[in-house]
Amino acid sequence: MENRNLDKLRPIIGLIIFSVIISILNPRFLTMGNLLNVFRQTSINAIIAAGMTFVILSAGIDLSVGSILGFSGAVGAKMLASGYNIWLSLLAAIVIGAVAGIVNGIIITKGKVQPFIATLAIMILLRGATMVFTSGRPIPVSGEHISGVFRWIGTGEVLGIPVPIAIMIIVFIVCYYILNHTQYGRHLYAVGGNEEASLLSGVNTAKIKILAYTASGILAAIAGIIVTSRLSSAQPTSGEGYELDAIAAVVLGGTSLVGGQGTIIGTIIGALIIGILNNALNLMDVQSYYQMIAKAIVIIVAVLLDKKEKTK
């Protein structure tokens, strides 16, 4: 029991220690403006990572989230630029994310394809589709009324809280409730822990997995809307590499890569660790190439610690 409680506390202990070290190395880190910037930058990865948590809890992986982000954002921007209603455009972007997630889930459950291969194929497909759809050029969102309302999603505030952060908070509250207070959440943990036993117990394991990938696709699309809104345009390369940051956040948050164990609170802590690491390296003027190396080292250490715990 003590070890289990320690496992739950490890991510937040790591976050506190990491934050203290960064604040000592660079006093600018603890300024209110910088901390707000960290949360704003973290919100995108945190939203994607929330969906990734569902997938990894089911003992899967989703490499397509970055491409879903890019393609859904491009479609939403194109519809807005073509004069469609803003809410219809946003709904279309979210539906695309949901459909992509459903396709991932069906290929994996019905086609018996490994999650890595299935989502890798969808990642490549959607990345190519985005390039074709945008002709390799940005799609600006124009028009005073539309661009103003749309830009608010990425840059506006609600009661003094930046909208992306507010959306992140809502997403995590909903995900927390689903995972901890619904039958679906209990079945998801069961399927990730032992799929065969869950199937024998009468759980529709295919449905549970498909819904997990659907959630991942929807949240990636929501992140795509925020990114497109913040830039006031859809970039053909949007979302590249986001899947790696999302997976890193989930793993750093204590969710096991073999499924069945982890928390959504751990995921947001993991996302904050990634965000703080990026921010700290920027404050210290570390080149982006070295930032990638540092992030990789943190991920490797987290995975090794997870593996060590599972072998005890």
Write down the mean pLDDT value for the chain: 88
Averaged over 145-174, what is the pLDDT?
A: 88
Q: What is the pLDDT of residues 15-67, one digit of tens each?
A: 788 788 888 877 788 788 888 888 888 999 999 999 999 999 999 999 999 99
pLDDT of residue 85: 87
Is the model's pLDDT at 287 over the cut of 70?
yes
Residue 33 neighbours by CB under 8 Å, 6+ apart? none
pLDDT at 84 over 70: yes
What would the pLDDT profile of 226-278 be if each residue is shown by its tens digit?
A: 999 998 889 999 988 899 889 989 988 888 888 888 899 999 999 998 888 88
Percent of the chain with pLDDT over 70: 92
